[in-house]
Amino acid sequence: MNKNYNIPLKFSEEVADALHDGSPIVALESNVITHGLPYPDNALTAKKVEEAVRKGGAIPATIGIKDGEILIGMSFNEIEQFSKAKNIPKIGNRDISILLAQRNSGATTVASTIMIAELANINFFASAGIGGVHRGAEQTMDISADLMQFTKSKVAMVCAGAKNILDLGLTMEYLETHGVPIISYQSDYFPAFYCKSSGFKSPHRIDNITKIADVIQMHWAFGNKNSMLITKSINDEDAIDEREVEDILNKAIINAEKKKISGNAITKYLMQIIDRETQGRTARANASVLISNAEFAGNLASVYVSITKEAVL
């Protein structure tokens, strides 16, 4: 039985070969290209992120939807096209089938990218900050579909925790309720995207990549059908002070309410305000996190493949 029957998956040659050979692959999202960073930084960063995955020892697979086809491994030209486009929408998992049936294009978020990665048998993913429970969610019910998808797809997700714009305490509670493990690499704290720490203690700290790969293998061997979060804090030289972001954010949230910006537009709005108010430092920090996480995920995927191969022999 072919479970991909009728799903228009289009693999790049390199990703198809890597899947065939059982080589390590890291999936990457495209929404961060269209909605996370401005042009031309987005295109440059996307390319550096791919290079970083390779440096880590794995093959990058940037995922996006173009004219009704799911691209698994976007070419440089396709990345460039997404970077410049103004009309490619942000696509969550609720939107995928509608987009495909109408043969449209879209940029995938963490949630929709991991759903596709799992279909394609890719189980490592790297991004910057995941979506989570928004501040005021007790009123708005705004909880990112990223969290829901972690409860359903078997993917090891390397990230710098969740975005500062969120309620990070509630985000961690949600993950705990759903049995999604969090492992923080070389830190006692859950990071906050471009800030070193959220102030919340991480449930687990592991300092060694091979041990993290062992944990991932054990988690799935044990029968879990959900994801794992492996957090890595931003490098010291690019980190931004939490208090500085907090002040800007509090004002931006009030403005968003006044302007009635909500739903899936809020993330991009708040991130743009913070970036403007920090004279572009947060966008640079965002790029730094994406690149260092990509290299780490490449490394982890490669160690994971070598230990699982050993286990089979």
| Binding footprint of ligand PSU on the chain (CB under 6 A) | 29, 31-32, 35-36, 109-111, 127-129, 131, 144-146, 163, 264, 267, 286
Residue number with the smallest Cβ distance to Mn ion: 142
For residue 227, give both structure tokens: 């994801």
Active site residue 29: yes
Which residues, 6 or more positions from 9, have their beta carbon under 8 angstroms from its beta carbon?
Answer: 69, 70, 72, 116, 119, 120
Is 142 a binding residue for Mn ion by CB under 5 A? The answer is yes
298 makes contact, choosing from ligand PSU, Mn ion, none, with CB < 5 to 8 Å by partner type, with: none
Of 75, 81, 19, 17, nearest in space to 50 by CA? 75
For residues 31 and 202, which CB has a smaller minimum distance to ligand PSU in the complex? Answer: 31
Cα separation, 46 vs 69, in Å, equals 20
Indicate the residue among 165 and 195 with the shorter CB distance to Mn ion. Answer: 165
Comparing CB distances to ligand PSU, the nearer of 18 and 111 is 111
Shortest reach from residue 289's CB to ligand PSU, in Å: 7
Among 29, 80, 118, 295, the one annotated catalytic: 29
Tokens for 262, please give them.
Answer: 């909500």
Residue tagged active-site, from 90, 163, 196, 232: 163
User: In the complex with Mn ion, which residue's Cβ is closer, 36 or 56?
Assistant: 36
CA neighbor of 64 nearest in space, from 44, 43, 78, 85? 78
End-to-end CA distance of the chain: 27
What is the smallest separation between the CB atom of 164 and Mn ion, expressed in angstroms? Answer: 15
Q: Which is nearer to ligand PSU, 83 or 286 (CB)?
A: 286
Rounded to a whole number of angstroms, the minimum distance from the CB of residue 144 to Mn ion is: 5
Minimum CB distance to ligand PSU, residue 76 (Å)? 21
DSSP string, 58-101: SEEEEEEEETTEEEES--HHHHHHHHH-SSPPEE-TTTHHHHHH
62 binds, among ligand PSU, Mn ion, none (CB under 5 to 8 A by kind): none
CA 123 from centre of chain = 13
- Coil, strand or helix: which one is 211? helix
Min. distance of Cβ 135 from ligand PSU in angstroms? 12
- Reference 157, options 88, 207, 91, 109; nearest CA is 109
Pick between residue 163 and residue 196 the one whose CB is nearest to ligand PSU.
163
CB under 5 to 8 A by kind: which of ligand PSU, Mn ion, none does 31 bind?
Answer: ligand PSU
Return the structure tokens found at 214.
């062992």
SS3 223: coil
CA 86 distance to own-chain centroid: 21
Binding site for Mn ion (CB under 5 A): 142
Catalytic residue list: 29, 163
